[in-house]
Amino acid sequence: MAITVSKAEVKKKGGVVILPLKEYKRLVERAVPEYYLTGKAAERLDKLIKGGLRAHREGRTVLASSISDAMKKFRRRHVR
C-alpha cells in the first residue's frame, strides 16, 4: 500500500506526523485532562451542576452558539 503526500500540502499545513494507531489512540485519550475533586470543592461543583440541571429542566437556559450570543440572549430576556 502506497501513500502519497503532496509537498505543497505538507508546507501549507506545517508538517506531517506518522504514528502507530495504538500510540495515536493513547495520545487522544490523554488529550483531555482528568481532575478529581474532593471535599468542599467537590461539594460546590455538585451543587453547581445540580442547579444547572434544574435550570435546564425548568427551561431557564438558552441555546447559543457562543458565550457572546448567550449573553445577548440573556440580556434581551432580562431587560427591565
Classify residue 49: in a domain, yes or no: yes
25 inside domain: no
Q: Which pLDDT value is given to residue 62? A: 85
E strand map for 1-80: none
The whole domain housing 72 covers 39-77
3-state secondary structure of 52: helix
Residue 75: what pLDDT? 87
Q: Is position 43 within any domain?
A: yes
In a domain, 70, yes or no: yes
pLDDT score for 34: 78
pLDDT value of residue 51: 96
The number of distinct structural domains making up the chain is 1
* pLDDT, position 41: 94
> 45 in a domain, yes or no?
yes
Low-confidence ranges of the chain (pLDDT < 50): none
pLDDT at 55: 93
pLDDT of residue 80: 67
Residue 27 makes CB contacts below 8 A (sequence gap 6+) with 19
